[in-house]
Amino acid sequence: MDIFIQQLVNGVVLGSIYALVALGYTMVYGILGLINFAHGDLVMVGALSALALLKVCLAVGLGLPASLALATLGAVLLCGGLGVLIERVAYRPLRSAPKLAPLITAIGVSILIEYGAAMIWSKQYLALPPVIQSTTWQLAGAAITDLQVAIVVMASVLMAGLLWLIRATPLGVAMRATEQNAEVAGLMGIDTHRVIAITFLIGSGLAALAGIMVLLYYGVAHYFMGFMLGLKAFTAAVLGGIGSVPGAMLGGLLLGLIESLGAGYVGELTGGVFGSNYRDVFAFIVLILVLVLRPAGLLGTASGERA
Amino acid sequence: MNLPQRIAQWWVHGQTWPGASWTRRLLVVVALALLPFLLEAVAGRAWVRIADIALIYAMLAVGLNLVVGFAGLLDLGYVAFFAVGAYAYGLLASPQFGIHASFLLLLPLGAIAAACFGVLLGAPTLKLRGDYLAIVTLGFGEIIRIFLNNLNQPVNITNGPQGVTLIDPLLLGSFSFGKPHSMLGVTVAPVHAYFYLLVCMVALSMLVARRLQNSRIGRAWAAIREDETAARAMGIDTRNLKLLAFALGATFGGVAGGLFAAVQGFVSPESFTLQESVMILCMVVLGGMGHVAGVVLGAIVLTALPEALRVVGPLQKAAFGHVWIDPADLRMMLFGLALIVMMRWRPAGMWPAPGWARRTPSAVGSKPQVAARGRDDAP
């Protein structure tokens, strides 16, 4: 029972991170109908740049809270800028191209970012300096750190903010209008190019924050960490119903729980044939199952069979 | 019409170059026969081996071209089918299980196994939007590697990260590709023998691909690629034809995998990473999507490129006294950049398919993607 609660806690933390990344996929997919393969890599850029900034700030002699704030700000700005740049340079010229072209471009962007990062930050696993002391609380037999609580709270605040932005602000109205029909939105006086750029900015900023959470949680960052994370976050977006913002949040949380519990119990259930080294397989099984059983996702609208 | 005439007609109809004559074909055959010896004399035996690998990649590129170029489906985990074929041969023709089955049996087996995986993967995704296929194949490519890496316990099947070693060389009848042969006073080393075999296999795959392209199936694929809704309206069974393209592409990958295992004598999960999938995709995109000869050219150029980039390391060392950019990373960055640049400025590739110019006005620019996504076709 203790293990169950512990895995539940881990799953919620993991799920909040997945949800933040999944939001970026789902927002871009909602508006452009494009799987932005580079999105996972923005998480990696966020983590690695925040780590580099943090090291610099600490070396200069700033205190930990100030360093952390500066590193976060720097990483979010860098990733946001990078996201807008990618949209402007790689995706916008292909708006009217056949469907295959932006998909191939997206994988090209992803590879370029990954190996660009490998060049800048090397291919080593880079460890977070041991500056963050976390307190551990015992709760119902499970150990919970303050860092875990902070991640879940931060992610919840960010997601609530995003929902408010989309539901209650003029920008949110413009975003939803562009998602429904970009041409008509343009006729209504909405600068759709600007709305799309802002969507990329927000998504990339959230990716950077998720990257920082991963960095703080696991204590390491790596140039290839965005690949699997991106794949799982995309699965979360599909599970919740791609294009749906609340769906991405729900999907992320569920996927985090499935993976955590799955990895925790697969050894017992299969009598040791499969161990936790298969944890990355769960997301994939979920993806296939969702596509077979409910392609629209949990909160998705009309079942989508689009040519 | 008698049989030889029919075969001749068939061959001429499926010709690669317009107006190709028999003398020209003969010249090509002679040139290919001399090429390995020429390569060995000029650049050393290592380059004959590189040529062998280039030919295997050419087969893979032709196979992926069926999926990406002909049917317009993006497969980002193509190397998984290559892995299935390679492991099928590697496990059943090595001391791993003590089985030494014949290549003639294992090649179709590997092909069928790869095709089965293709159907398993394609069936749930292909009835949905095309982009789901891209992400599912991307995931599958990684998953198969995880399995290959971890299936060494509790029962040792794949031997884990160490891979399968001492794989039997090819044996056709009594002719073994594993040791040198003396023929007409010329010694034919294993790399040379494999070269000839692979040239034949590439020619065969090109022929099959060309014949497919000009068939009812190939035309249906082209229709699906250009406009799936219109294709379905014309009575094309889009789902099954997409599945066929995917499974046939996987079959090519499986055959190439079997040959790869035999040529290398060794397979490990290291050979089947995402980078390989991206590289094969690059060969297709760079060479010319939908053009069989173009993707073969792409495969040859991109296999030679890393060898050419090898000088970058020492060059940097000489200039700056430190290796800033690892040649392997530089290669991947160039691949990524190439994919972006080609899609932006030259989507037809280096050597465009004949008729591309005719098809571009309708394929590009007529359907603004953003504007086309009304509420009714939202996901």
A200 contacts in chain B (CB < 8 Å): none
In a domain, B83, yes or no: yes
Q: How far apart are CA A92 and CA A90, in angstroms?
A: 6
The answer to whether the CB atoms of B128 and A304 lie below 8 A apart is yes
A291 contacts in chain B (CB < 8 Å): 124-125, 128, 132, 136
Domain residues for the domain of A188 are 2-123+140-293
Considering only the beta carbons, identify the residue of A103, A115, A283 that sits closest to B333: A115
In a domain, B161, yes or no: yes
In a domain, A130, yes or no: no
Total tally of structural domains belonging to chain B: 1
The answer to whether the CB atoms of A183 and B146 lie below 8 A apart is no
> Residues B55-67: pLDDT tens digits?
999 999 999 999 9
The residue-averaged pLDDT of B139-143 equals: 87
Nearest to B81 by CA among B260, B340, B344: B260
Considering only the beta carbons, identify the residue of A102, A180, A306 that sits closest to B375: A180
In a domain, B130, yes or no: yes
Please report which helix (H) or strand (E) contains residue A136, including its range.
Answer: strand A136-139
What are the distances in angstroms from CA B75 to CA B72, B237, B281, B338, B367? Answer: 9, 20, 8, 18, 23
In a domain, A213, yes or no: yes
A114 contacts in chain B (CB < 8 Å): 332, 336
Total tally of structural domains belonging to chain A: 1
In a domain, B214, yes or no: yes
In a domain, A307, yes or no: no
Q: How far apart are CA B227 and CA B362, in angstroms?
A: 10
Give the Cβ contact number of residue A65 at 10 Å: 8
A286, HSE (Cβ side, Cα atoms, 13 Å): 26
pLDDT for residue B3 is more than 50:
yes
> Residues B146-204: pLDDT tens digits?
889 888 877 788 888 888 888 888 877 777 787 777 777 777 788 888 899 999 999 99
| ipTM surpasses 0.90 | no
Tell me the pLDDT of chain A (307 aa) as tens digits: 678 888 899 999 999 999 999 999 999 998 888 889 999 999 999 999 999 999 999 998 888 889 999 999 999 999 999 999 999 999 999 988 888 889 899 999 999 999 999 989 988 899 988 877 788 888 777 888 989 999 999 999 999 999 999 999 999 999 999 988 888 999 999 999 999 999 999 999 999 999 999 999 999 999 999 989 999 999 999 999 888 889 999 999 999 999 999 888 887 777 767 777 788 888 888 888 888 888 888 887 654 444 3
The answer to whether the CB atoms of B135 and A287 lie below 8 A apart is yes
Q: Which residue of B has its CA nearest to A302?
A: B379
The answer to whether the CB atoms of A280 and B229 lie below 8 A apart is no
Distance from CA of B47 to the nearest CA of A (A): 27
A95 contacts in chain B (CB < 8 Å): 368-370
Tell me whether A33 touches chain B (CB under 8 Å): yes
The answer to whether the CB atoms of B131 and A288 lie below 8 A apart is no
The answer to whether the CB atoms of A287 and B367 lie below 8 A apart is no
* Beta pairing partners, B172: B175
In a domain, B230, yes or no: yes
Domain residues for the domain of B99 are 43-273
